[in-house]
Chain A
Amino acid sequence: MAAVQDAVDIRNVTKRFGSFTALDGVSLTIADNEFFTLLGPSGCGKTTLLRMIAGFEEITQGEIRLFGDPIAGRDPNHRPVNTVFQHYALFPHMTVRDNVAFGLKMQGMDAAGRRARAERMLEMVHLSAFADRMPAQLSGGQQQRVALARALAPGPRVLLLDEPLSALDLKLRQAMRVELKQLQEETGITFIFVTHDQEEALTMSDRIAVMSAGQVQQIGTAREIYEAPVNRFVADFIGETNLIEVDVTRVADGMAEVVLPGGHRLTCPSASSTGGRHALSIRPERLSVVAEGADLEAVVDRVVYLGTDLQLMARLEGGAEFHVRLQNSARTAVPEPGARIGLKVEEGAARLLAD
């Protein structure tokens, strides 16, 4: 295969609003045809970054390239990207069809061509029957799909999605995740998706950039950032984890030997290359209750029933809180509150963090 050009190349981009720094030296590249997610809590700068790609915010420092072209100074209407807005921003005085055809009209396509392409787009999002309605006559989910069709109609090379699912209810959100991913695969357009919802990010993305406080914390596939978080923030933000302070006795070749509370030693993958005291991340579902050969010992405080799972809320020696997830099955022996249990950490499941 020929070398694939990057769709978006963000180089050391900084954005300041007055004295507030929204983005602090962010660099990342997004490949063509990639479903790339910017994930982080509100205020982390993810939406600002998206708006800079779209052209709604100016770049304070650094450079953004779209398919190799620097885009600074180009107005939004001169960038080959389209946006699905958080609250859709459908034109309230136009029919669904006219909304979808608006970008085509601006590109100078003739009326017949516009109409045909708008019909095709509406078909793609299963809204053909609603072409003559006004946006206010549609449900939230339908409006969302109109926004999607409108942004896709002009055939952008990059589609920007700003928390497009946040206003929908859970069932619809789950269905739309699958639809969005399918759509991205079918159209082959690069999607840049902004969300604070980690489940959304994990289910759809080819790669995810986890952001916090204006900086990229980690970039990787869903599996990488979940299973090999580099720092406390990523480990804590993605999924649920137990963070315990441990002493490192030996580090070599990306592995570390640590002393767990209770005195047992454990060898685990490490994101840190220094000794001393560090945080160890252990996912609650990567533990099992064992009678012998336990790595950790804990006292059960409560057992919470979650349907598919049971959550044990326990305390380690020294009082640190520790969660364990057990699958809800007839074979699972459920400890009583107050019981003292031994826990075995799955091979390679514990991970020493850099900070």
Chain B
Amino acid sequence: MAGPGASGGGGGGGWRPMLVPLLLPTWLTIGIFLVLPVALMAVYSFLTKEFRGGVIWEFTLAAYDQFFVNRGLFGDEPPTIEWTYIAIFWRSIWQAGLATLFCLLVGFPTAWFIATRPASQRGVWLFLITIPYWVNLLIRTVSLKFLIRDNGPLNEGLMALGVLDAPVTLINTNLAVQLGLFYSYLPFMVLPIYAAVERYNFALSEAAADLYASRWVTLREIVIPVVRPGIVAGCILVFVPSLGAFLAPDLLGGAKTFMIGSLIEEQFKGSLGNWPFGAAASMILMTLVLAALLVYARSAAQGAGPGAAR
């Protein structure tokens, strides 16, 4: 692997003042939309909460303490690990992972189908995929709620057809949240995989078949590894927003399906919130996601190296 300096724009690390105006838009964008909000969040997470929302500028670790440590209802018991929020985090990771898996299982064949249509038809299929996303996410999620409620069209339809005797309760279950997440983020899986499959050289599949590989083996050994960047991009694009989602769990789930997104949202809503605690939960979430991506990036870099192949 080349060192980081190898890709420098010919400057060899040298500072050139004339580059400043060219780089300024990038710096401003990253500064205003990335660094500033994250820094604000980091600072807020160490402040003291104001009872009607907002913060008092006094440094404290109270928010993190509240997240991880249980001192009893009145704060006078010996500290133990606080499992409430960790459980919510764990459930969120599990739900987001499951949603990613479902999106992958449906998105990959869909993307494959579109990418293997004649070039003139692909645009139409992609267009069809994106049409639902012209409608606001909130409205789509509410519509889904009406569709799947006990006396909604889904249950009534299935009962009319004789498939069901009594309505199946979907609303306020994990399944409903899953459905909501799946429906919200499916295109984020389809589009990057489509882009990767479209670039896929089908002569590779022929070469594999020519070398005695069956269709399944070709898929496993050749196709999936070659389009993996698209699959990974799709998984990240579905997993990360699913993890922080609050609309689907709020509207379709219940108390038992409470996810991080809702937890954080509550801290900033109305006068019952706790801004530093919300900021701290956000920081912890972001740290988790970043750490996971770093671990992945490192293992991917090793996997692509010549030494890893057998």
Contact = CB atoms under 8 A, between A and B. Distances in A.
Interface of A: 54-56, 75-78, 81-83, 85, 87, 89-95, 97-98, 102-103, 106-107, 111, 132-134, 150-151, 154
Given A98-B309, A98-B310, A107 B203 contact: no
Nearest to A111: B310
A56 B206 contact: yes
A132 B306 CA distance: 6
A54 B210 contact: yes
Contacts of A93: 225-226, 228, 304
Interface residues of B, number: 23
29 contacts: A54-B206, A54-B210, A55-B209, A55-B210, A56-B206, A56-B209, A76-B209, A76-B210, A77-B209, A77-B210, A77-B213, A77-B214, A83-B210, A85-B207, A87-B201, A87-B203, A89-B201, A89-B207, A93-B226, A95-B306, A95-B309, A106-B211, A106-B212, A106-B213, A107-B212, A111-B310, A150-B211, A151-B210, A151-B211
B222 interface: yes
A131 to B, nearest CB: 10
Nearest to B225: A93
A103 B211 CA distance: 4
A90 B226 CA distance: 11
A91 B212 contact: no
B306 A77 contact: no
B210 to A, nearest CB: 5
Contacts, number: 72
Contacts of A81: 210
B286 interface: no
Given A82-B211, A103-B211, A106-B213, A76 B206 contact: yes
A87 B207 CA distance: 11
B217 interface: yes
Contact of B208 (A87, A95, A102, A151): A102
Given A77-B209, A89-B204, A102-B221, 5 more contacts: A76-B209, A77-B210, A82-B210, A85-B207, A133-B306
Given A111-B310, A132-B306, A91 B214 contact: no
Contacts of A77: 209-214
- 9 pairs of A and B residues whose beta carbons are closest in the complex: A103-B211, A106-B212, A89-B203, A89-B207, A76-B209, A93-B225, A77-B212, A83-B210, A95-B309
Interface in B202-243: 203-204, 206-214, 217, 221-222, 225-226, 228
A93 B225 CA distance: 7
Nearest to B207: A89
A78 B211 CA distance: 9
Interface string B182-209: 0000000000000000000101101111
Interface string B278-310: 000000000000000000000000001011011
B120 to A, nearest CB: 16
B288 to A, nearest CB: 29
A90 B203 CA distance: 9
A111 B309 CA distance: 12
A221 B217 CA distance: 42
A81 B212 CA distance: 10
Contacts of A56: 206, 209
A97 to B, nearest CB: 8
B222 A91 contact: yes
Contacts of A132: 306-307
Contact of A85 (B203, B221, B228, B306): B203
Contacts of A107: 212
Contacts of A103: 211-212
B306 A154 contact: no
A54 B209 CA distance: 10
A91 B210 CA distance: 13
Nearest to B202: A89
A102 B201 contact: no
B65 to A, nearest CB: 47
Contacts of A111: 310
Nearest to A78: B212
A102 B309 CA distance: 12
A248 B217 CA distance: 64
A55 B211 CA distance: 12
A54 B222 CA distance: 19
Contact of A102 (B203, B211, B225, B228): B211
A150 B222 CA distance: 15
A102 B206 CA distance: 13
Nearest to B307: A132
A154 B207 contact: no
A64 to B, nearest CB: 16
Contacts of B211: 77, 82, 102-103, 106, 150-151, 154
A89 B203 CA distance: 6
Contacts of A85: 203, 206-207
A18 to B, nearest CB: 13
A158 to B, nearest CB: 12
B309 A106 contact: no
A45 to B, nearest CB: 18
A173 B204 CA distance: 24
Given A89-B201, A91-B222, A95-B309, A106 B206 contact: no
A56 B210 CA distance: 9
Contacts of A90: 207
Nearest to B218: A77
Contacts of B208: 91, 102
Nearest to A147: B207
Contacts of B210: 54-55, 76-77, 81-83, 151
A179 B210 CA distance: 23
Contacts of A89: 201, 203-204, 206-207
Contact of B207 (A55, A78, A91, A97): A91
Nearest to B214: A77
B235 to A, nearest CB: 18
B203 A94 contact: no
